[in-house]
A and B are shown apart, each in its own frame.
Chain A
Amino acid sequence: MTTEAQTAIEIPFYSPQGNEESLFEHAYKNQLPILLKGPTGSGKTRFISHMAARLNIPLHTVSCHDDLTASDLVGRYLIGDGQTIWNDGPLTRAVRDGGICYLDEVVEARKDTTVVIHPLTDDRRILPIDRTGETLHAPDNFMLVISYNPGYQSMMKGLKPSTRQRFISMSFNYLKSAQEQAVVEKETGIDALMAKKLVSMANALRQLKDHDLEEGASTRLLVYTARLIKSGFDPVEACLAGLIEPLSDEDDVVSALMEVVYASFGR
């Protein structure tokens, strides 16, 4: 689990796909929890940091893993100096201080985490802490955001309908070519021609989703690849390392995907 509380200094770059910024603001105003869904690397996390900075509220990010329990979120007693000290978990901290608590890839977490999330998502907006006997009421500027990746064939994991139905949901997808190209240019400072090549290649790879690949190339991978190229690494090799190898472990698939790379960069 990694947590970070971030306060806004500089607003991170975000290029909106639609009305998500205004939807988020309205949800924040009305104290509604939000569920973000979309494929890996399509900008969910970036969107949240952007919005937190824009609304000027702190952001508490929790990356969920499959061993994350409710007490990891809420907090636990620690021993120190012959006494025990209650130590707030990230969720409790967010509820006390206000701000956005962002649970990334929430389906990965243990099932018991939903128990502590549920009372925060309805109009009670409370966080009962069994161990200390406290019941925290979330302040007005507290907002719960969770994200998950529905396309991801994390074979046996999904969100329960009873959890899903507690959130305003927004869907993220890969950007349109021109916009994605602009994002890659802006993020990495790479020249327009190269950015265009990369984006058209990524779009080619995305056509293979559900058929040959589990997931298409993400914008994040594109940015990484562009950074490698920008710093002087050979473009074809950069694509192999940054775009192709992360997508598949099968040799013949990798070699077929490399043909797609050659189709863009020549051989």
Chain B
Amino acid sequence: MEEHVGQLWDKLITSVSDRSYKDAMITLADINKPLGIFFRALGGDGGLRIVESVATQHYAKRNWKHCVAGTGKYIELSWQDEETLHLPKQISVFPDAQLNKDLYYWLAAINAQCLENPSAVQRGLQGWFTYSQTLTREVLQRFPGLQSRYDRLVSAYLPTRYIDEDFNEQQQAQENAIARALQEPGSINQLPTSQHAPKSVILWPHPNPPEVIDISSKKKQQQNEEDEDEDEGQSSSKSKKNKKQNKRRNAERVDMPDDQSGFFAYRFDTIFGWSEFVNVDRMTDEDEDADQDSADKNADDMDFLSVARDSKSKGGKVKFDLDLPADSEDEVIFESDVMLPEWDYKKQILQPDYCSVVNYVNTASDKGELPERLRRTAKKLRQQLEALTTKRIWHRHQSEGSELDLDAYINYMGERFSGHKVEQPDLYQQLRSSERDLSCLLLADFSLSTDTWLSNDARIIDVIRDSLFLFSESLRNTGDQFSIYGFSSRNRGHIRFNTLKTFQESYNGMVRSRIQAIKPGFYTRMGAAIRYASAKLELQDTQQRLLLILTDGKPNDLDRYEGRYGIEDTRRAIHEARVKGLQTFCITIDDQGGEYLPHIFGNNGFTIIRKPEHLPQKLPILYANLTTNPG
């Protein structure tokens, strides 16, 4: 009963204090794509992902309704960091949906300007007050068309600041200043002081964007650097966690407390809240969704997440290493210690000789057969592909053919009439498929993530294996030259490049047993693999050279090669390949690929296959489409 009343009360008071208009709500998910384009067009960094911002605590005085309801403590604002642009998950400030939408576009515009003029960004309340006005003025100057929209937003927004509020004199002075700053940006320099922080301004960027603060001691850092292997497992599992969630949390990085003592508080008179880093092992078993959910919930409930580096190594690490395929004896090294550069986007330099590549081939029997279950599909695809790829044209000057070659005949007659004595040339033409001048290098991702089970009887790697089989089967008769390689990596010093078929080899039993033998291992250092592959492809003297990349996820490796760093390096590698005159195309089975792939490959340079099971059939068809429909 008490609980029931409590729920009712909570519902009532929350709805009273909630001043948003749910009917006119616009969510970020609805307009993420056009918003991203708008942001980039106005000068925003193309490498930023747009994510829903987490509500952050603001320090302004709450009105009595919020206080009673216990709401309004957090507000969703916009800000950006190195990898992401944070925008509110939904906007429902205004009763008019168009205005809410306009607010999104305005936030995108002002954040794009933030980037154009980073010097304006200052810390502190006064700094925030002045730079927000500067940014607003600059945006309106560059895009005068936004003015009317901005005016509408301001005039609709200002009254909402007063709802349910009872300002004292100081606050009123602040409010007046903010109102003026909004109406005439740049007109006022000083924000009057008050004992309370002013209410956040939804049209301006976040006054104190949350940051990941690194307060680890020097000693710890050194230790970490010395022992790079030690944190490999952790950083990768962390990135795995981030990948699935389009929401970022406030976090700080702290020292692991050295002492063994726990947290202890003892006081009779008041109940008080306190949060401090307590060494709690929040273990989750990733296979069990329920556990993961509850951990997510816990994370949502926390104001702040603290992440520390444990000096103890994980128990799972042993298992981890055992999982890695050992350097087996049946490998023949083609080329080792090939040094390749890597792009560091932060420093904007190409670090020379940064990665080392080993190119090896598995020795295999030469009696590899196409698996029985693929035969029928292979045959069907082969026929389909033949029909698709062979563009038929008239071949002239044939000794026999279905039609008379009028051109040749006229030439011949002309020459005869003009008195030349010529032998009768070949005067026929025949409709035949034309020869193509194309080579294709297929680069497949053999990272450990491909070891994931898709269904009861297939892992991603199995799907990739089938795809490679069907791809080769389909291509063997088209006359296109092709080669197949796979790659995986473990740190920059160990990039494994598995040769399955070179351009020179023909598709035979040996190649088939090599494909049969592929197994997943290690990580995805995509940039280096692309550089190495494009060097191989570049040697092909054909008019068209296609680099086809088959992957299941983002570039990532054990060291800092993850997130933006990996993406920028891959983008750079792709750019280098295009400068060399190679065509690149990426096929991915990563559902989230839409977020980062356009930045790497361009809008038309990739495709996402939603159902990985379809990959084997789709790959050859895709190839056919790529190579027959230029433009």
Q: List A residues at the B interface (Cβ < 8 Å).
A: 71, 76-79, 83-86, 111, 131, 152-161, 197, 200, 204-205, 207-208, 210-214, 252-253, 255-257, 259-267
Whether B109 lies near A211 (C-beta < 8 A) is no
Q: Which of B148, B417, B627 contacts A156 (CB 8 A)?
A: B627
Nearest to B44 among chain A residues (CB) is: A207
Closest to B585 in A: A155
Q: A84 contacts which of B149, B413, B546, B626 (Cβ < 8 Å)?
A: B413
Indicate if the CB atoms of B417 and A212 lie closer than 8 Å.
no
B42 beta carbon closer than 8 Å to chain A: yes
Given A156-B438, A263-B145: A205 in contact with B543 (beta carbons within 8 A): no
The CA of A60 and the CA of B42, in the complex, are separated in Å by 41
B149 touches A267 (CB 8 A): yes
Interface residue ranges of B387-410 to A (CB < 8 Å):
407, 410
**Interface residue range, chain B:** 35 or more
B204 interfacial by beta-carbon distance below 8 Å? no
Please state if A156 and B583 are interface contacts (CB–CB under 8 Å).
yes
Provided the pairs A156-B627, A208-B41, A259-B34 are in contact, do residues A86 and B598 lie with their beta carbons within 8 angstroms? no
Contact: A157 with B598, CB < 8 Å? no
Does the CB pair A200–B543 fall under 8 Å? no
- The stretch of B321-329, B498-506, B516-524, B599-607 in contact with A is B599-607
A267 to B543, CA, bound (A): 49
Instruction: Contacts A111-B437, A212-B603 given; indicate if A154 touches B631 (C-beta within 8 A).
Output: yes
Known contacts A86-B414, A207-B43; 16 further A-B pairs (Cβ under 8 A) = A77-B414, A78-B410, A84-B411, A111-B437, A155-B630, A212-B36, A212-B37, A212-B40, A212-B603, A252-B33, A263-B38, A263-B109, A263-B143, A263-B146, A265-B145, A266-B147
Q: How far is the CA of A228 from the CA of B410 in the complex (A)?
A: 49
B276-302: which residues lie under 8 A (CB-CB) from chain A? none
Q: Contact: B46 with A156, CB < 8 Å?
A: no
Q: Which residues of B contact A260 (CB under 8 A)?
A: 38, 41-42
Partner of B417, one of A76, A84, A205, A210: A84
Are A158 and B581 CB-contacts (below 8 A) given A266-B149, A267-B148? yes
Chain A residues near B581 (CB-CB < 8 A): 158-159, 161
A101 to chain B, nearest CB (A): 23
Residues of A within 8 A of B105 (CB): 259, 263
17 A–B contact pairs at CB < 8 A?
A: A76-B410, A83-B414, A84-B410, A131-B415, A154-B630, A155-B630, A155-B631, A161-B581, A210-B602, A211-B598, A252-B34, A255-B34, A257-B41, A259-B38, A259-B105, A260-B41, A263-B105
Query: Could you tell me the distance in whole angstroms from the C-beta of A41 to the nearest C-beta in chain B?
Result: 17
**B417 close to A83 (CB less than 8 A):** yes
- CA–CA, A208 to B599, complex, Å? 10
B contact residues around A76 at 8 Å (CB): 407, 410-411
Q: Which of B416-448 contact A (CB under 8 A)?
A: 417-418, 437-438
Q: Are B410 and A207 in contact (CB under 8 A)?
A: no
Given contacts A200-B142, A212-B603, contact A155 B583 (CB under 8 A): yes
Q: Is the CB of B414 within 8 A of A211?
A: no
* Complex Cα gap A157–B629 (Å): 10
Contact A266 B630, beta carbon cutoff 8 Å: no
| B306-318 vs A, Cβ < 8 Å mask (1 yes, 0 no) | 0000000000000
B591-611 interface mask toward A, CB cutoff 8 Å, 1 = contact, 0 = none? 000000011001111000000
A64 → chain B, closest Cβ, in Å? 14
State in angstroms the CA–CA spacing of A138 and B33 once bound together: 55
Residue B144 lies at the interface, judged by CB distance under 8 Å to chain A = yes
B residues near A, CB below 8 A?
33-38, 40-43, 46, 105, 109, 142-149, 407, 410-411, 413-415, 417-418, 437-438, 541, 543-546, 581, 583, 598-599, 602-605, 626-627, 629-631
**Interface pair B40/A211, CB less than 8 Å apart:** yes
- Closest-CB distance, A247 to chain B (whole angstroms): 11
Residues in A with CB closer than 8 Å to B37 are: 208, 212, 253, 256-257
CA distance A257 to B149 in the complex (A): 16
Nearest residue, chain A, Cβ from B43: A207
A211 & B46 in contact (Cβ 8 Å cutoff): yes
Knowing A84-B418, A156-B627 touch, does A256 contact B583 (C-beta < 8 A)? no
Q: Is the CB of A153 within 8 A of B604?
A: yes
**Chain B residue, CB-CB nearest to A236:** B145
Residues of A within 8 A of B603 (CB): 211-214
User: Which residues of B sit under 8 angstroms from A84, Cβ to Cβ?
Assistant: 410-411, 413-414, 417-418
Closest chain-A Cβ to B615's Cβ sits at a distance in Å of 21
Q: CA–CA, A263 to B148, complex, Å? A: 9
**What's the nearest-Cβ distance from chain B to residue A175, in Å?**
18
Who on chain B is nearest to A67 by CB? B393
B410:A77 contact, CB within 8 angstroms: yes
The answer to whether A214 and B602 touch (CB under 8 A), given A155-B631, A207-B43, A208-B37, is: yes
Looking at A85, A257, A266, the one whose CB has the most chain B CB atoms below 10 A away is: A266
Chain B residues contacting A78 (CB-CB under 8 Å) are 410
Residues of B within 8 A of A252 (CB): 33-34
Shortest B409–chain A CB gap in Å is 10
Q: Which of B42, B414, B626 makes the CB contact (< 8 A) with A155?
A: B626
Chain B residues in 8 Å Cβ range of A259: 34, 38, 105
The complex places the Cα of A27 from the Cα of B40 at a distance, in Å, of: 40
